[in-house]
Amino acid sequence: MNGVAVITGAGRPTGIGFATAKALAADGWPVLLSDLELEDAVLEGLPTGADSATFVADVTDSAQVEALADFAVERWGGIGAWVNNAGALLGAGPIADVGDEDWQRCQAINAGGCFHGCRAAVRRMQAEGSQRGGRIVNVSSQAGKTGPPHFAAYAAAKFAVIGLTQSVAAEVGRSGITVNAVCPGTVDTPLLDEPGGVWETMAAARGISVERARERAPRAAPIGRMVEPREVASMIAYLCSDAAAAISGAAINITGGDEVH
């Protein structure tokens, strides 16, 4: 596959996005890391010699996402892979308490950001004269397969990501572009610990302490532990590889067996 791999939400060294950039760089991809805020220093954590750059973009703003795609094409001549990883947990808690603004922002980041990214990537991958094809991977969630209590806004947005994935995959397959989603379970990243984040929400939904929620969650999965960012990253890198040319429209669980459909 020619061109660069663009990864959104890749600015936090402990997150899934940065782990994905590392995995793709290790596979030989040039990588363009994007996030709301990120410093070039983050690139030092990539494999030695990786061809890489950073670009600040808010995925809720389509003009910024188009600028990210333009930068990728100007610098590398084309986009080979695009990973819509940026996401945020908002509007967690009982449905009766979810505010309009949190609902809308949750859809705008998780579903809207994915839409902007898919559209920007397809526009370049299908550009006149382009025979490249391409790979698009959208980061959904286990909550995009089964809606857990107190995650209504987030689950709705992550379900939307899977619908978007299926529709775009069905549309662009003849252009040599595959589009897939990954659905991670509980992955040990900063997203879990934030105020109003996964641990606080799970604890409130089950009427237990945050500490108890933290202890219980890893044991809920058949593998008896949380998923690691690098395990999600290696699936994304596989989906971006030539070997995965026949996989499209899929929504692949990486949940340690906790989600099975």
Neighbours of 261 (CB within 10 A): 6
Q: Which is the catalytic residue, given 29, 55, 103, 154? A: 154
Residue closer to ligand NAD (CB basis): 212 or 230: 230
Q: Of 174, 182, 71, whose CA–CA distance to 136 is shortest?
A: 182
The Cα–Cα gap between 226 and 256 comes to: 7
Whole-number minimum distance, CB 176 to ligand NAD, in Å?
Answer: 26
**Binding residues for ligand NAD restricted to 52-71, rule: CB under 6 A:** 58-60
Residue closer to ligand NAD (CB basis): 91 or 133: 91
Report the phi/psi class of residue 138: left, alpha or beta, with left for phi > 0 and alpha for psi in -120 to 50: beta
Neighbours of 61 (CB within 10 A): 14
Whole-number minimum distance, CB 59 to ligand NAD, in Å?
Answer: 4
Neighbours of 156 (CB within 10 A): 18
The Cα–Cα gap between 62 and 48 comes to: 33
Q: Tokens standing for 74?
A: 């100007």
**Binding residues for ligand NAD restricted to 106-135, rule: CB under 6 A:** 109, 113
**Considering only 13-21, 24-32, 170-178, 240-248, which stretch makes contact with ligand NAD by CB under 6 A?**
13-21
In the list 1, 4, 6, 15, the residue contacting ligand NAD (rule: CB under 6 A) is 15
40 by DSSP, 3-state: which? helix
Residue closer to ligand NAD (CB basis): 133 or 191: 191
**Binding residues for ligand NAD restricted to 173-232, rule: CB under 6 A:** 184, 186-187, 189-192
Cβ-proximal residue to ligand NAD, closest one: 87
Q: Is 255 in the site for ligand NAD (CB under 6 A)?
A: no
Whole-number minimum distance, CB 140 to ligand NAD, in Å?
Answer: 7
Based on the number of CB atoms within 10 Å of its own CB, is 201 exposed (0-12), middle (13-18) or buried (19 or more)? buried
Whole-number minimum distance, CB 151 to ligand NAD, in Å?
Answer: 11
Q: Which x/- pattern, by CB under 6 A, does the window 17-46 give for ligand NAD?
A: x-----------------xx----------
Establish whether 154 is a catalytic residue: yes
Q: Is 6 in the site for ligand NAD (CB under 6 A)?
A: no
Strand order, beta sheet including 251-254:
52-56, 31-35, 4-7, 79-84, 134-139, 177-184, 251-254
In the list 21, 23, 50, 86, the residue contacting ligand NAD (rule: CB under 6 A) is 86
Asked if 209 and 250 count as a contact pair (C-beta separation under 8 A), the reply is no
Q: What angle do CA 12, 89, 193 make, to 5 degrees?
A: 60
121 by DSSP, 3-state: which? helix
Q: Is 85 in the site for ligand NAD (CB under 6 A)?
A: yes
Please identify every residue annotated as catalytic: 154
List of residues contacting ligand NAD (CB under 6 A) = 8-9, 11-12, 15-17, 35-36, 58-60, 85-88, 109, 113, 139, 141, 184, 186-187, 189-192
